[in-house]
């Protein structure tokens, strides 16, 4: 009964989408692997509470609306009310840095290694300032040799340290696949429990802004079949920090996926210490008619589509699964039992992707509760094109999500 339908509706050109739709070209840092001096650019700050600020100069900002939490019955909160809330505002990459810095202060065993993570601060500035604070031995710059420094990190974890290995781009970690699959995930088992591997492997991935096929990889589908590894994907500053801290405290190897287009997402997070459960999904929007399961950047495409769906009379329930391995089948199952319809939206590749595994898990555990076949919207099974318009057409767009929900609810 659980069949996957490929591409419901043709992907529309972005010009046909609403003017406030998510423009991936506006929120990207430079992907260069170099030490070139950069000028202070203008950049877009996207807030999780629904506003988008374009920084043209340090004195003035022009706010535009960005639909992130699409609830038709509520108005977006103003900047004034947001500033009065407790906590502090951080961009997503700053939240990752804060979580890492707090754990390095709390536990002297935590260390960082990777290309340009030291005084350069990392390719996306997640480790900026940490080398000055903690020294070059705890924030270690490595050569461009992913297989070597990933293996070094695994060995460090075996001896009792808690290393964070940064891949400058997730696609580069394919060079370390042997270390991750044959050692990182298996040594605890093959040693008869004599070793634990408390390592965090993290870095940017996903389809960015014309980065080309090799730099637009979605490696979650590659690593999901490796036994012994946990995988999580952050999507907001709040869960980015909470997942980072939880991963560093875990005794298991954890791969933390970050999306290149979400680093400038801004949100107010608590001042007090907190962590997020590594095996728990997040209920983004409660609903009654259909369960939409998504993660990472697609969370925002789904919430844009939810705005349209609510106006059309549909009540979608949106869940950010966050834990890519293992799945939170408790949260997912309760939603399926309530709505009886499932739509999966992912940026991962269609064949052998997270959506395919999720479809199999739902079919196996909740088949009797389904009133319609599962629909899975995924990226096209092609290398990501460099041309901007073609790149956009390979990724699921909000209009496709609306069409799929309408088909499910017929």
For 123-177, how does the pLDDT look when each residue is reduced to its tens digit (9 = 90+)?
899 999 999 999 999 999 999 999 999 999 999 999 999 999 999 988 899 999 9
Give pLDDT, residue 381.
85
Q: How sure is the predictor about 213, in pLDDT bands with cuts at 50, 70 and 90?
A: confident
The residue behind tokens 């460090």 is 156
Q: How sure is the predictor about 209, in pLDDT bands with cuts at 50, 70 and 90?
A: confident
Q: Where is 154: in which H helix or E strand?
A: helix 146-158
Percent of the chain topping pLDDT 90: 67
224 is in which domain, residue-wise? 87-270
CA distance 119 to 347: 33
Measure CA of the first residue to CA of the last residue in the chain; give whole Å.
17
Domain match, 238 and 110 both? yes
Residue 109 covered by a domain: yes
Q: How sure is the predictor about 96, in pLDDT bands with cuts at 50, 70 and 90?
A: very high
Domain match, 167 and 208 both? yes
Name the catalytic one among 188, 215, 259, 301.
Answer: 215
294 in helix, strand or coil?
Answer: strand
Name the catalytic one among 89, 98, 103, 146.
Answer: 146
List beta partners, residue 55.
Answer: 43, 61
Query: Is the pLDDT confidence value at 95 over 70?
Result: yes
Domain match, 249 and 196 both? yes
CA distance 329 to 31: 36
Domain-ending residue, one of 228, 246, 270: 270
CA distance 186 to 179: 10
Give pLDDT, residue 296.
95
The CATH number for 180's domain is 3.40.50.970
- For the chain, what is the domain count? 2
> 68: closest CA among 297, 243, 401?
297
CA distance 272 to 40: 32
Domain-ending residue, one of 242, 270, 298: 270
Residue 35 covered by a domain: no
- Long-range CB pairs of 69-78, under 8 A, 24+ apart, other chains included: 69/284, 69/285, 69/303, 70/285, 70/303, 70/304, 70/305, 70/306, 70/307, 70/310, 71/285, 71/306, 71/310, 72/307, 72/310, 72/311, 73/310, 76/49, 76/50, 76/51, 77/49, 77/50
For 17-70, how does the pLDDT look when each residue is reduced to its tens digit (9 = 90+)?
333 333 433 333 333 333 333 333 333 444 444 444 444 343 333 333 333 333
| Paired tokens of 21 | 């739709």
Q: Where is 254: in which H helix or E strand?
A: strand 254-259
Q: How sure is the predictor about 256, in pLDDT bands with cuts at 50, 70 and 90?
A: very high
Query: Is the distance from CB of 125 to CB of 93 less than 8 angstroms?
Result: yes
Give pLDDT, residue 9.
38
Interval 80-98 mean pLDDT = 82
CA distance 198 to 282: 24
Domain match, 343 and 254 both? no
For 191-206, how does the pLDDT look when each residue is reduced to its tens digit (9 = 90+)?
999 999 999 999 998 8
Domain match, 266 and 329 both? no
Residue 77 covered by a domain: no
Give pLDDT, residue 284.
97
| Paired tokens of 185 | 């995930």
The residue behind tokens 């536990």 is 107
Domain-ending residue, one of 245, 270, 295: 270
Query: Is the pLDDT confidence value at 85 over 80?
Result: no
Residue 203 covered by a domain: yes
Query: Is the pLDDT confidence value at 281 over 70?
Result: yes
For 230-252, how does the pLDDT look when each residue is reduced to its tens digit (9 = 90+)?
999 999 999 999 999 999 999 99
Domain match, 124 and 177 both? yes
- Better-predicted residue by pLDDT, 361 or 55: 361
This prediction has a pTM of 0.79
Query: Is the pLDDT confidence value at 317 over 80?
Result: yes
Lowest mean pLDDT segment, chosen from 87-96, 290-299, 391-400: 391-400
CA distance 153 to 249: 16
Establish whether 119 is a catalytic residue.
no
Domain match, 290 and 266 both? no
- Better-predicted residue by pLDDT, 187 or 72: 187
Establish whether 288 is a catalytic residue.
no
Residue 158 covered by a domain: yes
Domain match, 331 and 237 both? no
Give pLDDT, residue 83.
52
CA distance 220 to 225: 9
List beta partners, residue 113.
Answer: 140, 165
Where are the extended beta strands (E) located within 295-381?
316-320, 323-325, 342-349, 375-379
HEC profile for 18-45? CCCCCCHHHCCCCCCCCCCCCCCCCEEE
Give pLDDT, residue 140.
96
| Average pLDDT taken over every residue of the chain | 83
């Amino acid at each position: 009964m659980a069949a996957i339908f490929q591409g419901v509706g043709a992907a529309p050109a972005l010009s046909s989408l609403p003017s406030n739709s998510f423009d991936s070209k506006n929120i990207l840092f430079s992907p260069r692997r170099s030490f070139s001096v950069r000028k202070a650019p203008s950049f877009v700050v996207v807030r999780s509470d629904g506003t988008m600020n374009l920084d043209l100069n340090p004195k003035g900002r022009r706010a535009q609306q960005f639909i992130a939490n699409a609830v038709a019955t509520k108005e977006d909160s103003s900047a004034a009310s947001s500033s009065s809330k407790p906590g502090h505002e951080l961009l997503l990459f700053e939240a990752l840095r804060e979580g890492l810095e707090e754990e390095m202060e709390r536990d002297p065993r935590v260390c960082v290694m990777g290309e340009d993570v030291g005084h350069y601060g990392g390719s996306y500035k997640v480790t900026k300032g940490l080398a000055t604070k903690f020294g070059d031995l705890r924030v270690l710059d490595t050569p461009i040799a992913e297989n070597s420094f990933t293996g070094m990190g695994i060995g460090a974890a075996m001896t009792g340290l808690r290393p964070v290995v940064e891949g400058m781009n997730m696609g580069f970690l394919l060079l370390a696949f042997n270390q991750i699959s044959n050692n990182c995930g298996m040594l605890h088992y093959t040693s008869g429990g004599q070793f634990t591997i408390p390592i965090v492997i993290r870095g940017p991935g996903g389809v960015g802004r014309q980065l080309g096929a090799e730099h637009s990889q979605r490696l979650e589908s590659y690593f999901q079949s490796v036994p012994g590894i946990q995988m999580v994907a952050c999507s907001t500053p709040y869960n980015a920090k909470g997942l980072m801290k939880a991963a560093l405290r875990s005794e298991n190897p954890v791969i933390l996926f970050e999306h290149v287009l979400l680093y400038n997402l801004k949100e107010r997070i608590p001042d007090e210490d907190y962590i997020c459960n590594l095996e728990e999904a997040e209920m983004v929007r409660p609903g009654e008619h259909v369960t939409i399961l998504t993660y990472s950047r697609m969370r925002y495409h789904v919430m844009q589509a939810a705005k349209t769906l609510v106006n059309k009379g549909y009540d979608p329930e949106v869940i950010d699964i966050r834990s890519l391995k293992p799945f939170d089948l408790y949260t997912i199952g309760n939603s399926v039992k309530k709505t009886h319809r499932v739509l999966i939206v992912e940026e991962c590749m269609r064949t052998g992707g997270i959506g395919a595994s999720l479809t199999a898990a739902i079919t196996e555990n909740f088949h009797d509760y389904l009133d319609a076949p599962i629909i899975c919207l995924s990226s096209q099974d092609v290398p990501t094109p460099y041309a901007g318009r073609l790149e956009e057409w390979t990724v699921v767009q909000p209009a496709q999500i609306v069409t799929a929900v309408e088909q499910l609810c017929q």
